Amino acid sequence: MAVEVIIPALNEAGNIAQLVQEAAAQPVARVIVVDNGSSDGTGRLAAEAGAHVVVEPRQGYGYACAAGAEAATGEILVFLDGDFSSLPVEMPRLIAPIQRGEAALVLGSRVLGEIMPGAMPAHQRFGNRLTSGLMRRLYGVPVTDLGPYRAVRRDLLLALNMQEMTFGWPTEMMVKCARRGTPILEVPVSFAPRRSGQSKVSGTLRGSILAAYYILGVTLRYAFSNE
């Protein structure tokens, strides 16, 4: 099965070239970088490093991921952030269970793996623990984390009919799979501090509040509605 990597990126000029090169060194057909309105040359640097660059001017993590998925043609899509917090070298852990036919959605869990010093602020650890606990209780899925590193079959992703186009996108994917009875598999992954540049979500008050609002909102909404 062909694997494609999708990297949503907003102003990741200091990271993107090496990240693209390391991702391309994995057994993947193509690396797609979704430039989400960067003003620092992220798109150009990604293209020079060999990525297929998609431009998505509507800002939002979900918009970026959805644009990448739309451009993709491979059977397996791997998502990771543009800040080098997830390691391309660990990609086979996420891909292998799908290739073996054991799962259609594989989530990298930083709780089962290693969170390096300085990689995750305390409020984000708390939020992840709270939300994954809620998901276990409300949906009965064995998740321990809501991380940025995941692999999904493209046919499954299309069937999910994703609606959340900002911070709620990964959560929507998880709860919709849970509701369909699609097994979710977690594998341990490492989590490093962003290598360069500025955090836009957990490192800012606005990003943290918005992320918490959307992540909790989506987790609760799909548990108590027939949407």
Ligand X SMILES: Nc1nc2c(ncn2[C@@H]2O[C@H](COP(=O)(O)OP(=O)(O)O)[C@@H](O)[C@H]2O)c(=O)[nH]1
Given the rule CB under 6 A, which of 23-31, 45-53, 55-63, 214-222 is the region that contacts ligand X? Answer: 55-63
Residue choice 92, 133, 142, 203 for contact with ligand X (CB under 6 A): 203
Helix (H), strand (E), coil (C) string for the chain: CCEEEEEEECCCCCCHHHHHHHHHCCCCCEEEEEECCCCCCHHHHHHHCCCEEEECCCCCHHHHHHHHHHHCCCCEEEECCCCCCCCHHHHHHHHHHHHCCCCCEEEEEEEEEEECCCCCCHHHHHHHHHHHHHHHHHHCCCCCCCCCCEEEEHHHHHHCCCCCCCCCHHHHHHHHHHHHCCCEEEEEEEECCCCCCCCCCCCCHHHHHHHHHHHHHHHHHHHCCCC
> What x/- string results for residues 70 through 109 when contact with ligand X is judged by CB under 6 A?
-----------xxx-x------------------------
Smaller CB separation from ligand X, 118 or 181 = 118
Q: Distance (Å, rounded) from C-alpha 72 to C-alpha 57? A: 18
Least distance between Mg ion and beta carbon 85 (Å): 5
**Is residue 199 close enough to count as binding ligand X by CB under 6 A?**
yes
Least distance between Mg ion and beta carbon 71 (Å): 22
Least distance between Mg ion and beta carbon 78 (Å): 16
**Is residue 130 close enough to count as binding ligand X by CB under 6 A?**
no
Q: Distance (Å, rounded) from C-alpha 110 to C-alpha 190? A: 6
**Is residue 35 close enough to count as binding ligand X by CB under 6 A?**
no
Residue choice 4, 5, 6, 12 for contact with ligand X (CB under 6 A): 12
Smaller CB separation from Mg ion, 26 or 199 = 199
Residues 191-220 that bind Mg ion (CB under 5 A): 194
**Is residue 127 close enough to count as binding ligand X by CB under 6 A?**
no
> What x/- string results for residues 84 through 103 when contact with Mg ion is judged by CB under 5 A?
-x------------------
Burial annotation 210-225 (CB, 10 A radius, 16+ → b, else e): ebbebbbebbeebeee
Q: Which residues bind Mg ion (CB under 5 A)?
A: 81, 83, 85, 194
Q: Which residues bind ligand X (CB under 6 A)?
A: 8-10, 12, 36, 59-61, 64, 81-83, 85, 194, 199-203, 207
